[in-house]
Structure 1
Amino acid sequence: MAEPVSSIPNLGPASEAAFARAGIHSAEELRALGADAAYLALLKSGTPPHFIGYYVLVMGLQGRPWNDCKGDEKKALRVKFDALKEAAAHAPLAGLPGPLARELDLLGVVARK
């Protein structure tokens, strides 16, 4: 049986539900994707961007407490977070629910501006 997303440190039921909406249903899937790809999937599925949510995910995947992120490490994560927000904003199907966006993407549908 797959490990739930909430088995990753710092992630609880709300994170688990958000990742499920993005099509990520297990801790194994989340670990395989990594923090950046998984967070981008969240953004593309309609989850509003939130820097703390991003670095909580990064810290959790490293097995670290959420508040362990400080100084230069936090500044570097802010740069990555901003890049992920930008990438999600320019994704052709950004803002659509994750499963719908994936199906439309498989069909080759591109959202109009």
Structure 2
Amino acid sequence: MATPVSSIRNLGPAFEAACTGAGIPSAEALRKLGADAAYARLLHSGMKPHFVWYYVLVMALQNRPWNDCKDAEKKALRKRFDAIKVTSFDADRDAFEQMMDQIGVRPAV
């Protein structure tokens, strides 16, 4: 039986719903993808980029408190976040295109 995404430390029902919408159905699937690929998939599915959600995900997959990310580590994560955002988020995609992506009309990233 699959473990819910919300069973991972720091990740609640809203994040679980976003994962479900992005085709990430379980904690196991999220862990297998890893933080960067999962976040890219979330952005591609239409979620707006938010740095805090990204670093909370990174901390969660490391089983660390969400606010454990500090200083140099946070700066390095910001660079990773910016790179993911550039390649995975298109603010000009409309709701119809996002829906088509979610049902699999276009290939997932």
Q: Which residue of 2 aligns with 1:99?
A: 102
Where do 5+ consecutive residues of structure 1 fail to align? 107-113
Q: Which residue of 2 aligns with 1:57?
A: 57
Figure out how many residues of one structure are paired with residues of the other and give that number. 103
Counterparts of residues 8-87 of structure 1 (less than 5 Å): 8-87=8-87
Q: Displacement, 1:96?
A: 1.2
Calculate the aligned-residue CA RMSD, in Å. Answer: 1.8
SS in 1 for 2:81: helix
CA distance in 1, matches of 2:102, 2:89: 18
TM-score normalised by L of structure 2: 0.87
Structure 2 counterpart of 1:99, one-letter code? Q
CA distance in 1, matches of 2:39, 2:67: 18
State the Cα deviation string for residues 4-47 of structure 1 (Å, max 9, x = none).
00011100000000000000010000000000000000000000
Sequence identity (%): 60
SS in 2 for 1:86: helix
* 8 Å contact from structure 2 (residues 49, 89) kept in 1: no
Structure 1 counterpart of 2:71, one-letter code? G
TM-score normalised by L of structure 1: 0.84
